[in-house]
């Protein structure tokens, strides 16, 4: 056994390091440095990242850091720390082996402080730092994303669920939801999951299949961005192109959010406008000064409270949020080779419509009350071994409680009710013709996450490689009481559709396993640099084994490459596949009930009344819904010359198997009963022989995997450096996006089936029911002007939507099949569909009318002033010209008022003890 162990060790060392066991031949190229503040204080806990390999270390108590095992060539060092301006430095090995670097305190007046989004070298991504985040005066994460090319600036809207669509414009509801659901948000290393959200309702058949419930809900969509306050965010990275193989359960893009974790003075921020009041508190401190220890513990505390309403005239509809976070980061050794971060956070949101005291008749009100608690821990170990560079792990658990409620007065004819939960025939009861329905949806989503990852940084010749191997596990379940109401006063339904309470406790959990491998390589080819990132991941959805799935496993290759053709001129390209799992609400829609009247005798005397109901059920649970996938291609050009930065990207994306809802039909036969005897004072006695046998077409909404979305277009960003005499810089972003979405399947003419007075003999089936093309070209021109003497920044935004259009694509009126009363689907050829006997099956196709508008301009202004004592004031006005033109809509044949309403907001910020941070020679930065 000992010989076997020695052989294994010898093989591992040989493969990973190329070193013979027992020989000290590992002599790596080394890069070390020390980081100071501008007042010459050594800075601890500075995150030092080596680019393009993205290897990361943390400075020790003396401000020192070190990288080992580096090949020769050009690198870049990026330094980040809470409260300081991000700095970069160019390095060329082996000439440079020791660095002395300085970080500047983040002060608004500094030229280095950016209030716009930056870009990354590999792939299409935008990086937004804290100053740019706060400059938008964000009420939530949604407000910050306006800095991303192609996104539109808008006023904060907390009256409804906030979603984001990346590289996609308006086409169909299903396409928008699929894009938002496929946008993964990773907060401090933990993916935020909305897969277990089941706050849904059973749609009345007069509504569309994908209609929203009466209360606020993000079920079946992406995370509600209102629940993520932005004041405690240190940085955001928005990846719209091909992400690393590390990230799964996504299609549209990736938003990586880093909280503010580290030593920072107490900070209070208050934001006010006519519709909103918000206050936040943030502080971070270390215990090193409190005790003698070589190991440091740092702690962060943050809180956020907000209350808002969409309209100051509406005092009954209000949204409120309370959020808090505790973070603990510990370095377990002086060199910070092992660092852990543990976070406990929670929030409570209430989206509520109170009952109007004057509404004594209908008594309408609703609310959605959500709260959650999340605990996570992350560890990073850098053993500095020749065959192992780092080991990272993440574990998290989230408990949610979602309570939704709505009530309204139901007025209808006398109607029969049944409590049957399965197919049966039994007596029913007569419901009231008018009653108050009260429905509660109680959900308890539970989310688990774990990831283990190893990395090896290795030089092979003049190539620097960073190999990454990892696996992750996800779990989503919901143990809530579900959708509950009094069966005698149910929600409104029609067309013989019944309704029953339903619990979520018996729904099984969704488990996912993911495995990934990736190599990030950079090298010099002559005077040119090459960066190549190639990897793949295997996603096992609902696993029944390590590599075997109940539904489907998906292999997702991903490649990104960037090549420097001339000095600081890069071309890049990428290709990748990603997949998104269905949600619990899509996999387990529940059972649909149909209460068909077999006999109805409503006598004058109540004791003589009798109603017999035939209940038929359709169980929609455990649908075979596969994850939907996207294939992405992109190419780009990046130029950085004399401070000017140009980023240009072209992309093409195809999403297949996205999930939407179709209304389908199932036929039921049932008996119509007749009276055999009618004794006085008692219900009638029914005959054993039926009066007749009838057929009922039962319509129901079902999730299907047949939505296809094509997105293509271009994005650009241009940064013009500061014109020194005027202290003014410019930033221009824009995008042209073309979206086409449709359902790649068949659709049934359900309206013909259940809206007719008599059941039709045939119901047509057609190829695709909706196909829409949307286009938009918009630009954003930002001007940033500094007045260093006053420590003031003024910015202006000129946003223009130059072109926007939406047009349906003409559909084929000819049927491809029909459903008869037996429930059989009879396929038709093109010739058969054109025969005279099938003329009645042709559907009426409305004229395809394009909706387009002329250019629309929006002008926003903002200024921010900061004083040395730590006080800061900011004032913003959106659409300050109040330009809201009326444009004609060709579809509705009515005029539409466009643009955001006039909006203004003030923000006050106090950094307690900030005078200690500002005791630096500011004039040397302001006047350079």
| Residue linked to tokens 């030092």 | 48
885 pLDDT higher than 90:
yes
pLDDT tens string 192-229: 999 999 999 998 887 888 888 999 999 999 999 999 99
Tokens of 167: 């590289």
Task: Compute the distance between CA of residue 45 and CA of residue 41 in angstroms, rounded to an integer.
Answer: 13
| 384/382: higher pLDDT | 382
Spatial contact of 323 and 347, defined as CB atoms under 8 Å apart = yes
Nearest to 537 by CA among 637, 456, 627, 672: 627
301 pLDDT higher than 70:
yes
| DSSP letter, residue 830 | H
Q: In this prediction, what percent of the chain has a pLDDT beyond 90?
A: 57
Band the pLDDT of 136: cuts 50, 70, 90.
Answer: confident
Alpha helices in 66-172, H assignment, sequence order: 130-135, 141-144
Report the SS3 class of residue 642.
coil
Spatial contact of 886 and 899, defined as CB atoms under 8 Å apart = no
Task: Compute the distance between CA of residue 534 and CA of residue 733 in angstroms, rounded to an integer.
Answer: 29
Spatial contact of 402 and 442, defined as CB atoms under 8 Å apart = yes
Instruction: Decide the pairing of beta strands 31-37 and 98-103.
Output: parallel
8 pLDDT higher than 60:
no
C-alpha distance from residue 554 to each of 513, 577, 629, 630, 738 (Å) = 11, 9, 9, 11, 27
174 pLDDT higher than 80:
yes
548 alpha-carbon distance from chain centroid? 28
546 pLDDT higher than 90:
no
Band the pLDDT of 182: cuts 50, 70, 90.
Answer: very high
94 preceded by a cis bond (ω within 30 of 0): yes
744 pLDDT higher than 70:
yes
| DSSP letter, residue 840 | G
- Average pLDDT value over all residues in the chain: 87
| DSSP letter, residue 547 | S
Spatial contact of 634 and 654, defined as CB atoms under 8 Å apart = no
| DSSP letter, residue 84 | B
Report the SS3 class of residue 504.
coil
Nearest to 157 by CA among 169, 140, 174: 140
Q: 339 — phi, psi (to 5°)?
A: -125, 135
Angle 868-869-870 (CA atoms, 0-180°, nearest 5)?
Answer: 90
Task: Compute the distance between CA of residue 576 and CA of residue 556 in angstroms, rounded to an integer.
Answer: 7
In terms of average pLDDT, the best of 309-318, 618-627, 841-850 is 618-627
Length of the chain, please? 928
Q: What is the pLDDT of residue 348?
A: 95
Band the pLDDT of 14: cuts 50, 70, 90.
Answer: very low
The alpha carbon dihedral of 141, 147, 153, 155 has a sign of: positive
Task: Compute the distance between CA of residue 522 and CA of residue 71 in angstroms, rounded to an integer.
Answer: 10
Tokens of 305: 């409270």
3-state SS of the chain: helix, strand, coil percent to 5? Answer: 10, 55, 40
853-868: b (≥16 Cβ within 10 Å) or e: beebebbbebbbbbee
Tokens of 761: 């003999």
User: Which bin fits 232, alpha (ψ -120 to 50), beta or left (φ > 0)?
Assistant: alpha
502 alpha-carbon distance from chain centroid? 28
- Of 64-78, 300-314, 523-537, 873-887, least confident by mean pLDDT is 64-78
Q: What is the pLDDT of residue 45?
A: 79
The alpha carbon dihedral of 314, 315, 316, 320 has a sign of: positive
Spatial contact of 220 and 586, defined as CB atoms under 8 Å apart = yes
190 preceded by a cis bond (ω within 30 of 0): no
| Residue linked to tokens 């939530």 | 140
C-alpha distance from residue 460 to each of 382, 523, 761 (Å) = 21, 10, 74
DSSP 435-487: EEEEEEEEE-EEEEEEEEEEEEEEEETTEEEEEEEEEEEEEEEE---EEE--T
Instruction: Decide the pairing of beta strands 429-430 and 424-427.
Output: unpaired
Q: What is the pLDDT of residue 288?
A: 65
> pTM for the complete prediction?
0.89
Q: CB-based burial of residue 249 (10 Å sphere; 0-12 exposed, 13-18 middle, 19+ buried)?
A: buried
User: Which bin fits 496, alpha (ψ -120 to 50), beta or left (φ > 0)?
Assistant: left
Task: Compute the distance between CA of residue 905 and CA of residue 876 in angstroms, rounded to an integer.
Answer: 5
| Residue linked to tokens 């943030």 | 282
Instruction: Decide the pairing of beta strands 871-878 and 856-866.
Output: antiparallel
Task: Compute the distance between CA of residue 55 and CA of residue 467 in angstroms, rounded to an integer.
Answer: 11
Q: What is the pLDDT of residue 927?
A: 32
Q: How many CB atoms lie within 10 A of CB 731?
A: 22
Q: What is the pLDDT of residue 85?
A: 79
Angle 397-398-402 (CA atoms, 0-180°, nearest 5)?
Answer: 160
Instruction: Decide the pairing of beta strands 463-478 and 510-525.
Output: antiparallel
Task: Compute the distance between CA of residue 511 and CA of residue 822 in angstroms, rounded to an integer.
Answer: 39
pLDDT tens string 767-797: 887 889 999 999 999 999 988 888 888 999 9
Band the pLDDT of 2: cuts 50, 70, 90.
Answer: very low
Q: What is the pLDDT of residue 16?
A: 36
pLDDT tens string 684-739: 999 999 999 998 999 999 999 999 999 999 999 999 988 888 889 999 999 999 99
Q: What is the pLDDT of residue 291?
A: 52
- Give the end-to-end CA distance of the chain in Å, rounded to a whole number: 69
Spatial contact of 454 and 517, defined as CB atoms under 8 Å apart = no
Q: What is the pLDDT of residue 751?
A: 84
pLDDT tens string 258-295: 998 888 889 999 999 888 999 999 999 887 655 555 66
């Amino acid at each position: 056994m000992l010989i076997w162990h020695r052989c294994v060790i010898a093989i591992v060392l040989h493969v990973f390091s190329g070193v013979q066991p027992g020989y000290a031949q590992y002599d790596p190229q080394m890069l070390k440095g020390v980081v100071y503040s501008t007042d010459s204080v050594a800075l601890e806990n500075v995150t030092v990242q080596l680019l393009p390999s993205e290897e990361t270390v943390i400075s020790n108590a003396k401000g020192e850091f070190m990288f080992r095992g580096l090949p020769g060539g050009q690198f870049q060092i990026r330094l980040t720390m809470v409260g300081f301006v991000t700095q970069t430095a160019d390095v060329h090995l082996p000439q440079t082996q020791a660095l002395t670097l300085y970080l500047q305190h983040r002060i608004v007046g500094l030229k280095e402080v950016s209030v716009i989004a930056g870009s990354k070298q590999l792939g299409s991504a935008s990086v937004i730092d804290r100053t740019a985040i706060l400059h938008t005066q964000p009420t939530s994460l949604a407000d910050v994303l306006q800095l991303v090319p192609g996104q539109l600036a808008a006023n904060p809207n907390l009256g409804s669920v906030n979603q984001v669509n990346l590289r996609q414009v308006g086409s169909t509801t299903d396409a928008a939801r699929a894009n938002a659901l496929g946008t993964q948000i990773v907060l401090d290393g933990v993916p935020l999951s909305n897969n277990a959200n089941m706050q849904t309702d059973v749609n009345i058949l007069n509504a569309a299949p994908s209609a929203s419930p009466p209360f606020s809900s993000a079920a079946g969509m992406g995370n509600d961005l209102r629940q993520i306050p932005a004041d405690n965010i240190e940085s955001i990275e928005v990846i719209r192109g091909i992400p690393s193989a590390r990230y799964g359960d996504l299609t549209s893009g990736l938003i990586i959010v880093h909280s503010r974790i580290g030593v920072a003075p107490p900070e209070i921020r208050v934001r006010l406008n006519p519709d909103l009041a918000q206050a936040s508190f943030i502080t971070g401190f270390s215990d090193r000064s409190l005790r003698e220890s070589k190991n440091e513990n740092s702690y962060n505390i943050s809180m956020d409270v907000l209350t808002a309403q969409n309209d100051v005239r509406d005092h009954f509809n209000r949204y409120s949020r309370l959020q808090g976070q505790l973070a603990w980061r510990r370095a377990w050794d002086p060199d910070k080779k092992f660092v852990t971060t543990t976070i406990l956070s929670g929030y409570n949101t209430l989206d509520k419509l109170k009952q109007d005291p004057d509404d004594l008749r209908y008594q309408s009100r609703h609310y959605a009350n959500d709260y959650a608690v999340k605990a996570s821990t992350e560890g990073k170990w850098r053993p500095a071994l020749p065959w192992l560079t780092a080991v990272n792990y993440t574990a998290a658990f989230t408990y949610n409680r979602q309570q939704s409620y709505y009530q309204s007065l139901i007025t209808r004819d006398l109607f029969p009710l049944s409590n049957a939960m399965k197919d049966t025939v039994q007596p029913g009861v007569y419901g009231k013709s008018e009653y108050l329905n009260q429905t509660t949806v109680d959900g308890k989503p539970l989310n688990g996450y774990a990831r283990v990852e190893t990395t090896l940084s290795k030089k092979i010749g003049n190539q620097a490689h960073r190999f990454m191997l990892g696996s992750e596990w996800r779990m989503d379940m919901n143990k809530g009481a579900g959708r509950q109401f009094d069966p005698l006063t149910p929600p409104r339904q029609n067309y013989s559709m019944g309704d029953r309470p339903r619990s979520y406790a018996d729904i099984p959990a969704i488990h996912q396993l993911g495995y990934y491998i990736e190599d990030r390589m950079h090298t010099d080819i002559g005077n040119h640099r090459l960066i190549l990132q190639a990897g793949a991941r295997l996603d096992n959805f609902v696993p029944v084994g390590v590599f075997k799935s109940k539904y489907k496993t998906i292999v997702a290759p991903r490649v990104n490459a960037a090549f420097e053709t001339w000095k600081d001129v890069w071309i890049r390209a990428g290709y990748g596949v990603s997949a998104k799992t269905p949600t619990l609400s899509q996999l387990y829609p529940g059972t649909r009930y149909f209460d068909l009247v077999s006999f109805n005798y409503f006598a004058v005397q109540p004791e003589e009344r009798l109603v017999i109901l035939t209940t038929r059920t359709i169980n929609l649970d455990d649908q075979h819904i596969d994850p939907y996938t996207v294939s992405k291609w992109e190419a780009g050009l990046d130029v950085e010359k004399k401070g000017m930065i140009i980023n240009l990207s072209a992309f093409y994306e195809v999403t297949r198997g996205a999930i939407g809802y179709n209304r389908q039909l199932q036929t039921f036969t049932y008996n119509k009963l007749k009276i055999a005897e009618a004794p006085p004072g008692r219900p009638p006695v029914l005959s054993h022989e039926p009066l007749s046998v009838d057929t009922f077409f039962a319509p129901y909404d079902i999730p299907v995997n047949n939505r296809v979305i094509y997105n293509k277009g271009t994005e650009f960003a241009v940064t013009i450096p500061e014109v020194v005499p005027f202290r003014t810089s410019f930033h221009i972003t824009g995008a042209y996006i073309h979206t086409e979405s449709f359902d790649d399947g068949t659709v049934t003419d359900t309206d013909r089936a259940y809206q007719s007075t008599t059941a039709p003999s045939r119901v047509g089936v057609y190829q695709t029911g909706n196909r829409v093309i949307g286009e938009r070209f918009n630009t954003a021109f930002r001007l940033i002007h500094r007045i260093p003497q006053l420590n003031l920044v003024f910015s202006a935004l000129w946003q223009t939507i130059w072109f926007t259009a939406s047009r349906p694509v003409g559909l084929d009126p000819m049927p491809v099949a029909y459903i008869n009363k037996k429930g059989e689907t009879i396929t038709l050829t093109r010739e058969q569909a054109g025969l005279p006997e099938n003329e009645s099956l042709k559907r009426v196709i409305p004229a395809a009318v394009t909706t387009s508008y002329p250019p629309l301009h929006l002008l926003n202004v903002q200024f921010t002033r900061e004083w040395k004592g730590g006080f800061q004031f900011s004032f913003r006005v959106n659409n300050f010209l109040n330009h809201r033109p009326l444009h004609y809509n060709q579809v509705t044949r009515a005029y539409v008022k466009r643009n955001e309403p006039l909006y203004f907001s003030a923000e006050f910020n106090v950094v307690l003890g900030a005078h200690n941070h500002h005791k630096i020679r500011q004039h040397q930065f302001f006047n350079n």
